[in-house]
């Protein structure tokens, strides 16, 4: 049956598509499902992470001692990157104080050992935050081209069918070609949310890691000197603390 203005549309295009065309559509739908799943899951996880981080930081700076912080972490568990970093930093300090440099990984002063431990924990948290972002970036960059490929294939099939039927009028050509352009639109509809979600998650992760870097400097200084680093510190104390703070800066 020749397409008419009344039956031309998405359903007609799918019905007339061959196996490759339907496969391309299925791939785009699958990519959309994966994209939205990642955005929603990581968005909810990020919201919970921010809430737990805010609660922990408020408790940490109002705690009377590090023993109180340790007890809080042991009681309620590790729920955010800040409590994760604090727990490992405290354990590293206590381990080095009690056992010293028993292995090559523990060589150096207590401050150097704690610094290495904190850096490894921060790298683990950064990798955990970035998990799944590569998939989003891949979907955002490839979906338009997959949709374009579906359009090209659809136009090719449409022209072959028109040529076989011998009807080369404008209305017979414009309908199938217009239907084939649907695949490009679907590709863009899949890519745009993926790109927006990727940029949003990357920005959120960068903010979180920036705050974690700042907290790491404060925590390291507190563990090694017994007092937090402050811009109001006396000049001679600030000079003594500055090298300690710079040890944790990540290359």
Full DSSP string of 198-214: HHHHHHHHHHHHHHHHH
Of 112 and 212, more confident: 212
Summarize pLDDT for 164-196 with one digit per residue, the tens.
766 655 556 666 677 778 889 999 999 999 999
Residue 82 has pLDDT above 80, yes or no: yes
Q: Residue 230 — φ and ψ, nearest 5°?
A: -145, 150
pLDDT for 148 equals 92
pLDDT for 20 equals 84
The pTM score is: 0.75
Q: What is the DSSP letter of 229?
A: -
Q: Do 196 and 204 form a contact (C-beta atoms < 8 A)?
A: no
Residue 5 has pLDDT above 60, yes or no: no
Residue 251 has pLDDT above 50, yes or no: no
Could you state, in order of their start, the residue ranges of all structural domains in the chain?
Answer: 19-225
In 3D space, the residue among 151, 92, 83 whose CA is nearest the CA of residue 116 turns out to be: 92
pLDDT for 120 equals 92
Q: What is the DSSP letter of 104?
A: G
Alpha helix positions (H), the chain: 10-16, 19-62, 66-76, 81-99, 110-130, 133-165, 170-180, 182-225, 235-247
- How many CB atoms sit inside 10 A of residue 124's CB? 14
């Amino acid at each position: 049956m020749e397409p008419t203005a009344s039956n031309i549309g998405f359903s007609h295009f799918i019905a007339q598509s061959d196996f490759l065309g339907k496969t391309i559509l299925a791939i785009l739908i699958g990519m959309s499902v994966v994209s939205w799943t990642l955005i929603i899951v990581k968005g909810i996880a990020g919201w919970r992470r921010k809430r737990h981080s805010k609660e922990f930081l408020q408790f940490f700076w109002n705690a009377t001692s590090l023993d109180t912080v340790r007890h809080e972490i042991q009681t309620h568990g590790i729920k955010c990157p800040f409590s994760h970093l604090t727990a490992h930093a405290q354990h590293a300090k206590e381990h080095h104080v009690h056992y010293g440099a028993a292995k090559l990984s523990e060589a150096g002063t207590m401050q150097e050992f704690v610094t290495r431990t904190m850096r490894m924990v921060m790298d683990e948290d950064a990798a955990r935050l970035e998990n799944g972002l590569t998939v989003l970036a891949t979907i955002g960059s490839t979906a338009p081209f997959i949709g374009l490929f579906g359009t090209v294939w659809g136009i090719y099939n449409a022209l072959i069918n028109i040529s076989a039927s011998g009807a080369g009028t404008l209305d017979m050509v414009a309908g199938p070609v217009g239907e084939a352009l649907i695949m490009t639109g679907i590709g863009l509809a899949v890519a745009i949310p993926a790109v927006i979600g990727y940029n949003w998650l990357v920005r959120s992760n960068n903010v979180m890691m920036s705050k974690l870097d700042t907290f790491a400097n404060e925590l390291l200084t507190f563990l090694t000197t017994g007092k937090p680093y402050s811009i109001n510190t006396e000049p001679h104390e600030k000079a003594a603390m500055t090298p300690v703070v710079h040890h944790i800066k990540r290359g």
